[in-house]
A and B are shown apart, each in its own frame.
Chain A
Amino acid sequence: MTEWLSRDTLDFLIQAVYFVAAVLFIVGLKQMASPVTARRGVIWAGVGMLLAVLVTFFWQDMGNFALMLAALAIGSVMAWITAKRVAMTDMPQMVAVYNGMGGGAAAAIAAIELYNPGELGYVILVLAILGGMIGAVAFSGSMVAFAKLQGLVQKTLRFPGLQLLNALIFLATIGTGLALLLMEGYPGELLVAFFALALLAGITLTMPIGGADMPVVISLYNALTGLAVAFKGFVLDNAAMIIAGTVVGAAGMLLTHLMAKAMNRPLSNVLFAGFGDTEMEGGGAEGTMKAIDPSDAAIMMAYSEKVIIVPGYGLAVAQAQHKLWEFCERLGERDVEVKFAIHPVAGRMPGHMNVLLAEAGVPYDMIFDLEEINSEFEEADVALVIGANDVVNPDARNKKDSPIFGMPILNADKARNTLVVKRGRGTGFSGVQNPLFVADNTQMVFGDAQEVANKLLQGLKSLG
């Protein structure tokens, strides 16, 4: 298929297009860093991807085109359908799935390269092995993360000696990897063992991690896949893969670090301490909670000047964000100033809550980060906490032995009145007790978030 162009010209064209694709990826990611240009950014990156894929058909000595087209079609259609269908609340686990597939693809490339190592140089062989290992770990780890967030795996595997087992599996993987590197003409079984061990390591490493920590882990695997792709780029002499993979690897590492910092959980803690779903003893905090009727709560807010809303994942689970936004619009009509305060880990990963609110139609300039809004709580008449718990727990500020001590929190307790919408009297996602619920200026609105949002809206409507 290349008769009409010389090999040299084609190679030049391929490299030129890869260069353009790399530029589009970087510019696209850069644009994704601002809400105003974000959409354009992903489209630009998409164009880069499309160009890179098209031009790859003309790579030298290529065959198996029918197989290739079939594979592209299967992967694309499958992903297209699932991605179009997935609910916004389930977004984190879908990111995990697609990320895992990228890791799997990197591992597959490594498997072929190592199956037929031929004339691979020493450095390239190291990169092929490392990339394969990282890819395989990211693949199985991401799949476990998906299964846990999706609720397919309920149990959190944790037993004494687990860390030791993890260390052993990890060492065994490294050991077989070293053997691949050092043995001339290694047997196929060794290669199979290497990948099996790497896959197993991904599973046992991810199994003990609790649901609350999972986003950090997904982000970590995302970065690792990027790295694996970059290594594969070096093995295959493919500049587009090197650039895209490295950018994602570095960006992903920083993002992982930012997430872990926002949760006040060093990465090592997330991976090896297993706190994410600790079951703590005890139900409610000590003291008594004061209940308030939703309609009274609505009236209270209707006659306020400033209301700050602190939404949490519970809001999205109950699919109450649409009703809540309708309520806020009505408050706005009454000249009440409404702002949304988002904790970095609200939802299931940083920024997830923003996506869910955007879905309900909340404009992004009404949504504020922790740093932006924390000083404003003191001037607020009402802080409405809905579906959130740990992110407003004052213990994080002043109780040294609390498991969440040191985590930055939203100062909802500093508002003149705090309203907390809560299903029951128990503890939250992390099982930590929350003294905010029994504070003097706090009143509890008990009920499912959807039901409460409905009643709030009705209460406001009844005022006319």
Chain B
Amino acid sequence: MLELTGFVALYIFMLTAFVGYEIISRVPVILHTPLMSGSNFVHGIVVVGAMVVLGQADTTVEKVIGFLGVVLGAANAVGGYVVTERMLEMFKSSKGDKA
């Protein structure tokens, strides 16, 4: 596995934070709601982490919490995706081309 520790981790964190900031800084207001929903979908990646802890869980307590984590994470990802997609599907220009 990767060793994401110390300053390497800090650099990744810093650079990625700038990327996130830059992505949003020129977004028209009309897309704020879909974008908030879209970014909500993206942090649904937490499901992957929950899968790993559930996959490595041994005791019952760990399994129960891990199970809950995966349920919640999956709901975050799927719900976030469906809602965002539904919203963006509706945006169209007057020339009739779908976004």
Contact = CB atoms under 8 A, between A and B. Distances in A.
15 contacts: A35-B28, A57-B51, A59-B55, A71-B54, A75-B74, A79-B76, A101-B72, A101-B79, A104-B72, A225-B43, A247-B39, A249-B17, A250-B20, A251-B35, A354-B31
B81 A42 contact: yes
Contacts of B98: 39
Contact of A246 (B16, B27, B49): B16
A115 B27 CA distance: 42
Contacts of A71: 54, 67-68, 70-71, 74
Contacts of A219: 36
Given A111-B65, A239-B2, A358-B90, A99 B21 contact: no
Contacts of A25: 42, 45
Interface string B65-99: 11111111111111111111111111111110011
B86 A83 contact: yes
Contact of A37 (B2, B9, B36, B99): B99
A11 B18 CA distance: 28
A406 interface: no
| Secondary structure dominating the interface of A | helix
Contact of B29 (A63, A88, A262): A262
| B interface bracket (residues with beta carbon within 8 Å of A) | 35 or more
Interface in B24-68: 24-57, 61-63, 65-68
B52 A62 contact: yes
Given A68-B55, A240-B48, A251-B21, 14 more contacts: A29-B38, A39-B91, A46-B81, A49-B42, A52-B48, A102-B76, A106-B46, A222-B43, A226-B39, A246-B16, A246-B17, A248-B43, A359-B90, A365-B93
Interface stretch (A198-206, A270-278, A342-350, A380-388): A342-350
B80 to A, nearest CB: 5
A399 to B, nearest CB: 25
Interface of B: 1-5, 9, 12-13, 16-21, 23-57, 61-63, 65-95, 98-99
Given A241-B45, A248-B20, A364-B30, A108 B99 contact: no
Contacts of A259: 32
Contacts of B27: 32-33
Interface of A: 11, 15, 21, 25-26, 28-30, 32-39, 41-43, 45-46, 49, 52-53, 56-57, 59-65, 67-68, 70-72, 74-76, 78-80, 82-84, 86, 88, 91-92, 94-95, 97-99, 101-102, 104-106, 108-109, 111-113, 115-116, 121, 123, 218-219, 222, 225-226, 228-230, 232-234, 236-255, 258-259, 262, 342, 344, 347, 349-352, 354-355, 358-359, 363-367, 369-370
Contacts of A222: 36, 39-40, 43
Contacts of A253: 21
Contacts of B76: 75, 79, 98-99, 101-102, 105
Nearest to B33: A351
B45 to A, nearest CB: 4
Contacts of B36: 95, 218-219, 222, 252, 255, 349, 351
Contacts of A239: 2, 4, 12
Contacts of A34: 28, 31
Contacts of A57: 51
B56 A78 contact: no
B30 to A, nearest CB: 4
B1 A237 contact: yes
Contacts of B61: 115
A53 B28 CA distance: 31
B31 A351 contact: yes
| 8 shortest interchain CB distances as A-B pairs | A75-B74, A250-B20, A108-B69, A79-B79, A62-B55, A363-B94, A351-B33, A71-B70
B12 to A, nearest CB: 6
A115 B65 CA distance: 10
B47 to A, nearest CB: 6
A67 B63 contact: yes
Given A33-B26, A354-B30, A43 B16 contact: no
A233 B24 contact: no
A344 to B, nearest CB: 5
A83 B79 CA distance: 5
